[in-house]
A and B are shown apart, each in its own frame.
Chain A
Amino acid sequence: MSEQATVRMEGVGKLFHGVQAVEGVDLEIRRGEFFALLGPSGCGKTTLLRMVAGFEMPDRGSIRIGGRDMTGVPANERPVNMVFQQYALFPHLSVAENVAFGLRVRRTPEPELRERVAEALASVQLAGLAGRMPAQLSGGQQQRVALARALVNRPELLLLDEPMAALDEKLREDMRQELKTLQHRVGISFLYVTHDQQEALELADRIAVMERGKVVQVGAPQEIYEVPQTAFVADFVGVSNLIPGKVVERERLLVESAPGASRRVVLALDGFGRVEAVSRSAMETGARVTLCLRPERIHLAASPVEDLVNRVLGMVERALFLGSEIHYHIRLKSGTLVRVHDSYSPLQPARREGESVYLQWRAEDSTVLTR
């Protein structure tokens, strides 16, 4: 067991009413890491979190925290603390007593307890509200109390179960920044469960994307976004054009500058025709694949641009103005709909609906998915 890992899960599985809620999960959370479990509701991310907390026991596999096997260790003896969805603050206790709860049950001496509670409240900017009751606090303040209540115990790992779900959009953005700052300051590993890909991309050092009980991809946010390994990940994280097709020509040229052994392949895509792309894995000619093409990677122009190898003509069907960006729905001659995101600038007029445009991109701008 390396000293760098706070949590190590090996082959973790859990059956719920005959349904495989979590299956064969291998994950490692490094010391001081902000780790996000991302997936749609029902993908098993909350069950996995609850198994780390000790509220559920895995049927298979093992979870080690700080090098110690947690099999059979009850929740109250684990070196982790949780920030619950809706926070689960004790309604009959003041803010200070909520925060003091963990220290009291561990019989911390009174002077030390007071000092640590004050320190924890100060760290979440709630020093003035120690005497309030939870019902008198706003949603954002309740979340801070929940954070202080967990962090005051100095856990090895902080678990967060969709902590932003109860907050409105504006507050969520502020709290994201604050959470990131707080995590850097305390240096504790965070395991953050969310269904919001934006949140995961912005906050996490690494993300595990889950689908139907399994971890389908683990990686840094950029890696997950730029090199999704399955169509599900490409679709769930960010917006993608997922175009089915097959390989017609392979390894025409080795790109030496790209990391790994990248090969240039030629694909025949349904509704697009021949397209050049880059593949990281060896592919057979004739293999069915899906091309993931991010909307912001497509360049729109009235006339062809020389160094963009892929080119297809389409017609603007709809233009949605979103302030800093314009989102286009572009219909190809074949009838296929393509989404394109372009940055907006008043200097460059937007494409009008009904206008004909060239959609162009480099081979490196797309990802070839085999699953």
Chain B
Amino acid sequence: MLAAAGWATLLFLYMPILVVLVFSFNASQYGARWGGFTWEWYARLAHNQNILRAAWNSLLIGVVSSALATVLGTMAALAVERFRWARPELWEGFFFIPIVVPELMMAIGFLLLFGVFGFPFGLGTLLLGHTTLNLPIVWLIVRARLKKLDPRLEEAALDLGATPWTAFWRVTFPLLSPAIVGGALTAFAISIDDFVISFFVAGPNSTTLPIQIYSMLKFSISPEVNALSAVLFVASMVLVGAAHFLQDRKEGYVH
């Protein structure tokens, strides 16, 4: 009984994804009728200039924003740990709130902010928006790992003659690296998938893939959109899977 409920829930969760995946191979262009298997829509994707430009933008924003968020988020996590500020749970709260704040609110906030400062909408605003979106996520992942790290390891390095700088790079950083890489990959996946903030802060020449899909949908649900969604889905899954793998591996290191 419980097993059946479990399977039903899984089916419910994955049905929409399955439908998109299946229909991306549907030879029939219209409606919900199955017209045989085809790769055609995937082939068309590769020749659609708008889609290719959007893909490039998404990739660029994803890589740069996740890299920025990773550096800043890691530094912030280290700072909270290192300086043993009073009430670390307060800092945890500050970094956690942006994750649960309605994204729409963040998006409107960005729109107003950039408007007020006369910031031209485009890749720059997208980059700022995505970095802000990603930073708390990286912070959370790196901080979780850091909390489990034995502070005596760094002391041991100092005791053995290492400067604080060397102790960080030889001991703390290697032990944190799975979390840092995992955080970066998660940030990249979130950035690639993001629609709300992108929709509000993108300029006319900085369309990203999710916005492109949305604008294509305005006309009709074309199988090309299905194919594009499927590509995004697989890419995200690979990234998230890699992030999890990296965080789980070497877990034995932590005391």
Contacts and interface: CB of A to CB of B under 8 A. Distances in A.
B169 to A, nearest CB: 11
Interface in B67-93: none
A336 to B, nearest CB: 47
A53 B252 CA distance: 28
B210 to A, nearest CB: 38
Nearest to A89: B156
B174 A81 contact: no
A39 to B, nearest CB: 21
A92 B174 contact: yes
Contacts of A150: 159-160
B155 A153 contact: no
Interface string B135-179: 000000000000000101101111111111011001100110000
B250 interface: yes
Interface residues of B, number: 24
Contacts of A149: 160
Interface in A91-149: 91-92, 101-102, 105-106, 135, 149
B254 interface: yes
B64 to A, nearest CB: 29
Contact of B250 (A84, A85, A92, A153): A92
A321 interface: no
A76 B163 contact: yes
A51 interface: no
Given A74-B158, A82-B159, A105-B161, A90 B252 contact: no
A92 B155 contact: no
B253 A153 contact: no
Between A75, A77, A150, the greatest number of chain B beta carbons within 10 A of the residue's beta carbon is seen for A75
Contacts of A89: 156
Given A88-B150, A135-B252, A102 B160 contact: yes
Contact of A53 (B150, B159, B162, B254): B159
Given A84-B152, A92-B174, A105 B160 contact: yes
Contacts of B170: 101, 105
Interface residues of A, number: 26
A6 B18 CA distance: 73
Contacts of B164: 76
Nearest to B160: A102
Interface in B170-211: 170-171, 174-175
Interface string B236-255: 00000000000000101111
Interface in A188-205: none
Contact of B155 (A75, A80, A106, A135): A75
B152 A91 contact: no
A76 B152 contact: no
A62 to B, nearest CB: 20
A144 to B, nearest CB: 15
A81 B170 CA distance: 18
Contacts of B255: 86, 91
A89 B152 CA distance: 9
B158 A76 contact: yes
A76 B150 contact: no
Given A75-B158, A105-B170, A135-B252, A90 B153 contact: yes
Contacts of A135: 252-253
Nearest to B162: A105
Contacts of A81: 159-160
Contacts of B171: 90, 92
Contacts of A86: 150, 152, 255
B159 A75 contact: yes
Nearest to B154: A88
Contact of B156 (A74, A77, A82, A92): A82
Between A76, A77, A82, A106, the greatest number of chain B beta carbons within 10 A of the residue's beta carbon is seen for A76
A91 B157 contact: no
A149 B158 CA distance: 13
B161 A55 contact: no
Contacts of B150: 86, 88
Nearest to B174: A92
A101 B160 contact: yes
B155 A55 contact: yes
Contacts of B167: 76
Shortest 4 CB-CB contacts between residues of A and residues of B: A102-B160, A91-B253, A88-B152, A88-B156
24 contacts: A54-B158, A55-B155, A76-B161, A76-B162, A76-B164, A81-B160, A82-B159, A84-B155, A84-B156, A88-B155, A88-B156, A89-B156, A90-B153, A90-B156, A91-B153, A91-B252, A92-B174, A101-B162, A102-B160, A105-B157, A105-B160, A105-B161, A135-B252, A153-B161
Given A54-B158, A75-B158, A84-B155, 14 more contacts: A75-B159, A76-B158, A76-B160, A76-B163, A80-B159, A82-B156, A89-B156, A90-B156, A91-B175, A92-B171, A105-B162, A105-B166, A105-B170, A106-B161
Interface of A: 53-55, 74-77, 80-82, 84-86, 88-92, 101-102, 105-106, 135, 149-150, 153
